[in-house]
Structure formats: structure tokens, C-alpha cells
């Protein structure tokens, strides 16, 4: 499979955004380079990111941990540490617990499709996991939903696409406003059905 560069992906995304003429701008300048300090346009991006996967996501996790460090963040490896078959809920839980306890400010879970790990992580109170597969879903999950765990399907995405998703997801801030009211309602639903609520 041929991969395109991150610059080419940025140019494609910019062209699509310009073509749609929706008038909305991405929450950060997609053409702005990341500095060695992990900043764009002077905005600090230092985050501690818990990363976990099952055997289907092991190779992608290894590449992403390095990429997260290149972006200036700290990566907390929650396993697995080989391609030997394991159960994805164990590693989704490990990541979600790091986020819940605030040992990590956010998390990334990876399995072959991204669905199972997303479901498992969302069972942990306080976690809002979102399965993202492109720039738009990554942007929306942060800006509108204040997602604190990103779920990726290693069998569905190429590494350049994943890098764009991860970079977007780590950089886009929660918009607040009307979206905060909606996220609060999600929290209320969680409390209603939780023993902790």
C-alpha cells in the first residue's frame, strides 16, 4: 500500500475545507508546523497520553508512541507488548483508568477495528471515548464532545492517516458553550446508571 506524506494529507484537507465553503475553520492551522517543543502557533500542547492496544494494534501503538513523543507529549505505555493474542478490554480498561485517575490527561486505545476498545473504555465513569477515522471525526470528538479517549482501528487506517487523526485530536480544544451543556447531559446519564452516581 502506498502512503502519502503528512504534508500531502494537510493539503488535501485544506482543499476540502476550502471547497466546502462552510465558513468554519479548523480549531488550529493545519499548515502550521509542529516545533520541537511540541507547539503550534505558540500554543502549548504538553500532555500525558496513556496508550494501550491488543495484539491487533501492537505495531501501530509502537509507531504512535514515538510520534506522540515527537509532538512533545509524554506517552504512558499501557501494553500489550507483543503480537501474542490478548483481550482488548484489559488494555482499554488500563488506559481508561489512567485517564479517570488523572495519571494521564487523555488516552488512546487501539485494536483491529477500534470498536471493542471504544465500547470497553466507555464503561469507565468519566471516560468519553470516541472512535475516529479521519480529520473531521477527530476534530468533532474534541471540539463538540470533549472526548478524552481516542479509539483507533489499526486494520482500517494507514499510518499517515492515523498521524493526522492523533495530531488533530491532541491539538483541538473543547469549544465549551452549548457543547458543554450537552456533555453535562452525557455525564448526567452516566450518573443515573452508575453505582457511583
Q: Is 144 one of the catalytic residues?
A: yes
Measured distance CA(172)–CA(19) in Å, rounded:
22
Question: Most distant CA pair in the chain: distance in Å?
Answer: 49
Q: Determine the pLDDT at residue 194.
A: 85
Q: Determine the pLDDT at residue 11.
A: 67
Average pLDDT per block of 10 residues along the chain, 197 residues long: 57 62 39 30 71 98 98 97 98 98 98 98 97 98 98 97 98 97 96 77
Q: Determine the pLDDT at residue 101.
A: 97
Query: pTM of the full predicted structure?
Result: 0.78
Of 55, 73, 144, 179, which residue is the catalytic one? Answer: 144
Measured distance CA(1)–CA(197) in Å, rounded:
48
Contact of 88 with 117, CB cutoff 8 Å: yes
Q: Exposure string (b/e) for 15-46, b if CB count within 10 Å is 16 or more? A: eebeeeeeeeebebebeeeeeeebbbeeeebe
Amino acid at each position: 500500500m502506498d502512503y502519502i506524506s503528512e504534508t500531502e494529507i494537510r493539503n488535501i484537507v485544506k482543499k476540502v475545507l476550502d471547497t466546502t465553503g462552510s465558513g468554519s475553520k479548523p480549531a488550529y492551522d493545519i499548515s502550521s508546523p509542529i516545533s520541537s517543543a511540541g507547539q503550534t502557533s505558540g500554543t502549548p500542547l504538553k500532555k500525558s497520553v496513556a496508550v494501550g492496544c491488543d495484539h491487533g494494534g501492537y505495531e501501530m501503538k509502537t509507531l504512535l508512541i514515538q510520534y506522540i513523543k515527537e509532538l512533545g507529549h509524554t506517552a504512558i505505555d499501557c501494553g500489550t507488548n507483543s503480537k501474542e493474542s490478548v483481550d482488548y478490554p484489559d488494555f482499554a480498561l488500563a488506559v481508561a483508568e489512567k485517564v479517570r485517575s488523572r495519571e494521564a490527561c487523555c488516552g488512546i486505545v487501539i485494536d483491529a477495528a477500534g470498536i471493542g476498545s471504544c465500547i470497553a473504555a466507555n464503561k469507565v465513569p468519566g471516560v468519553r471515548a470516541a472512535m475516529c477515522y479521519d480529520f473531521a471525526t477527530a476534530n468533532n470528538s474534541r471540539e463538540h464532545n470533549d472526548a478524552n479517549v481516542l479509539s483507533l482501528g489499526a486494520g482500517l487506517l494507514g499510518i499517515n492517516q492515523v498521524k493526522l487523526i492523533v495530531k488533530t485530536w491532541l491539538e483541538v480544544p473543547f469549544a465549551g458553550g452549548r457543547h458543554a451543556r450537552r456533555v453535562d447531559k452525557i455525564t448526567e446519564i452516566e450518573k443515573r446508571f452508575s453505582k457511583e452516581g
